[in-house]
């Protein structure tokens, strides 16, 4: 879940390529790499511990009230050994995946939860620890991003990138698995910028604020948060949807890494060095 800070290849920060490869550039700065790994660890731990917390009451509601007898918009449960997921009344059989998996009558199976056996108190300790780690790292990265110019320079959308025609072209290129090459690979494309900005300024703030809204202590100190989100049950629903958004982002991010070349991408996020993909046509490379 990293954001890179590509440099314009100053002297001594780029090595020339050979006949088959592009030049090796220093693309990902140390603060970005540190934030990436802290962020990845925090999000995975929070997702898995959050699923265990969800197992304590696997129902979601909208509004100010939510209990067993209230109407839930999402339910993950079981009838005997048959698991099911109910979404706004539409029911899907999930036996062996959700609701009832490998003999466990829990919404999410032990394979994807922390801890692996039902323990609400331990799950909350894991969740709160990594939530604060996420908050601290996010604030530190925001300060770095604005002070260094990374936000404006690398994540800000240019006027031409905001045009529907430009965005549609970028969507078609990604759908065809045509990733930027040569000099174009130094900078973010519009879809990357939108995705990263969505994580930084929508998902992370929302997941933090809705998490705080579910805390009775914070409710007493900042009652306006409950009003903003329309009640604690609504805040829990939004919190869950943010978690789903993180999951989708991670899945797309990992798929893109695999398709773009995992060795080159991992080298960039571990060492900072990245080899620009050659933009020559196959027949030109063969000469």
What is the residue extent of each domain of the chain? 16-58+119-285
Over residues 29-53, mean pLDDT: 94
pLDDT tier, 46 (very low <50, low <70, confident <90, very high otherwise): very high
**What is d(CA 164, CA 43) in angstroms, rounded to the nearest whole number?**
32
**What is d(CA 15, CA 25) in angstroms, rounded to the nearest whole number?**
7
- Domain 16-58+119-285 listed as CATH 1.20.950.20: yes
Q: Which of 248, 239, 246 is nearest to 44 (CA)?
A: 246
Integer CA distances (angstroms), 112 to 35, 93, 107, 118, in order: 24, 19, 11, 12
The pLDDT tens digits for 132-178 are 999 999 999 999 989 988 888 888 888 887 888 888 888 888 787 77
pLDDT of residue 233: 94
How far, in whole angstroms, is CA 132 from its chain's centroid? 17
pLDDT of residue 225: 92
Express as a percent the part of the chain with pLDDT over 90.
47
pLDDT at 94 over 70: yes
pLDDT of residue 102: 66
**What is d(CA 211, CA 92) in angstroms, rounded to the nearest whole number?**
28
pLDDT of residue 244: 95
The pLDDT tens digits for 175-206 are 877 777 767 777 778 888 888 889 989 999 99
Over residues 8-16, mean pLDDT: 51
**What is d(CA 37, CA 145) in angstroms, rounded to the nearest whole number?**
16
Highest average pLDDT, of 82-91, 95-104, 253-262, comes from 82-91
pLDDT at 58 over 90: yes
Greater confidence (272 vs 281) lies with 272
Residue 64 DSSP SS3: coil
Q: What average pLDDT does the chain have?
A: 85
Q: Using an 8 Å Cβ cutoff, are 26 and 271 in contact?
A: no
């Amino acid at each position: 879940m990293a954001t890179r800070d590509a440099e314009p290849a100053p002297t001594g920060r780029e090595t020339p390529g050979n006949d088959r490869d592009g030049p090796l550039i220093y693309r990902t700065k140390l603060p970005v790499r540190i934030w990436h790994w802290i962020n990845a660890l925090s999000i995975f731990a929070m997702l898995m511990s959050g699923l265990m917390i969800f197992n304590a009451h696997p129902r979601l509601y909208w509004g100010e009230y939510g209990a067993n007898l209230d109407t839930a918009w999402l339910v993950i449960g079981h009838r005997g050994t048959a698991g099911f997921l109910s979404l706004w009344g539409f029911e899907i059989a999930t036996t062996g995946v959700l609701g009832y998996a490998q003999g466990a009558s829990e919404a999410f199976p032990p394979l994807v939860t922390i801890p692996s056996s039902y323990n609400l108190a331990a799950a909350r300790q894991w969740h709160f620890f990594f939530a604060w780690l996420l908050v601290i790292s996010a604030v530190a990265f925001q300060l770095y991003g604005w002070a260094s110019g990374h936000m404006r320079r690398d994540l800000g959308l240019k006027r031409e990138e905001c045009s529907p025609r430009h965005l549609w072209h970028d969507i078609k290129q990604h759908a065809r698995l045509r990733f930027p090459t040569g000099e174009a690979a130094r900078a973010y494309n519009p879809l990357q910028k939108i995705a990263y900005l969505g994580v930084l300024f929508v998902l992370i703030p929302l997941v933090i604020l809705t998490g705080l809204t579910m805390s009775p202590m914070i409710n007493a100190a900042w009652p306006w948060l409950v009003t903003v989100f329309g009640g604690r049950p609504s805040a829990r629903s939004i919190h869950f949807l943010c978690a789903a958004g993180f999951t989708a982002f991670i899945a797309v991010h990992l798929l893109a890494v695999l398709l773009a070349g995992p060795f080159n991408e991992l080298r960039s996020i571990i060492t900072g060095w990245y080899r620009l993909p050659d933009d020559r046509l196959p027949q030109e490379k063969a000469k």
